[in-house]
Amino acid sequence: MSGVESLEKEAERSEAAAQKASLLEVRDLRVWFDTPRGLVRAVDGVDLTVDAGRTLGIVGESGSGKSVLSRAIMKILAPSAQVRPGSEIRFNGVDLATVSPKKNKHLWGVDLSMVFQDPMTSLTPVMTIGQQLTETLRFHLNLDRAQAKAEAIRLLTLVGIPEPASRFAQHPHHLSGGMRQRVTIALAIACSPTLLIADEPTTALDVTVQQQILDLLQGLQQKSNMGMILITHDLGVVAGRADSIAVMYAGRIVETGPTRQLFAHMRHPYTRA
């Protein structure tokens, strides 16, 4: 076999492997922090899988490691975080540890996207809502100025922002917490990500809006076969929406399974509570 042929075969093989692989596979993920109080094992041996078009709900009490886990998947951990050797995060079969920083920029937004617990994490105070949305749209989707503006206003409407055209020109501090959270959701879904991690996406919102936003994400998922990780304190939020649920406690997944099964036989005290 010539060199070219074997390269082609190799490419076919890895493509086939990627087709078979789950969208996201996390194996034995450990993220530790050295702190003045001692070593914090924020994530301590987590395994999980998310398939395209499916939702994994992650529930767990405050401090159980849900946000550190999400940040590890997004590759945006604090510099002091140590990802322990042997930890593995595969996206479409590709080990994310091997992806270059330059490729990362394209991974974020288009492949992997996240709604942060604190809306100000993903919003820049010095730019208008419109600038932030259009910058993302132009960078990833090659839209021209007018197209990006039209798309940004469509997204603001989609997440339920009244008077989107005037909101477009405002800075984040002009918006209420709930409105800011909707903007971060618009930003996160702007480029139709393959996998969306939503970290407490609706805590700042009242119950009716919560349902609307979750319906919106679910609709998007059905349209584009997006995989989703939905993180919450509230089992009620994921009960009707997640295909499977993982319960985190002290950095570990203490219980996991298809949603219906988990509700039928809850073992861990946290889940029962």
Task: Please give the residue ranges that form the binding site for ligand ATP (CB under 6 A).
Answer: 33, 35, 40, 42, 60, 62-68, 78, 80, 117, 233
The one among 49, 55, 64, 67 contacting Mg ion by CB under 5 A: 67
Nearer to ligand ATP, 80 or 166 (CB): 80
Nearest to 199 by CA among 94, 101, 71: 71
Site map 76..115 versus Mg ion, x via CB under 5 A: ----------------------------------------
x-marked contacts with Mg ion along 113-142 as a string, rule CB under 5 A = ----x-------------------------
DSSP state of 190: T
Site for Mg ion in 37-66 (CB under 5 A): 66
Tell me the C-alpha distance between 162 and 17, whole Å.
45
CB 201 within 8 A of CB 217: yes
Residues 6+ apart with CB under 8 A from 167: 129, 156, 161, 175, 179
Q: Residue 64 binds which entry of ligand ATP, Mg ion, none, with Cβ cut-offs from 5 to 8 Å by kind? A: ligand ATP
Residue 184, contacted partner among ligand ATP, Mg ion, none, CB below 5-8 A by kind: none
H-type helices in 80-173, by residue range? 101-106, 129-141, 145-158, 164-167
**Residues shown for the chain:** 273
Give the interface with Mg ion as residue ranges (CB under 5 A): 66-67, 117
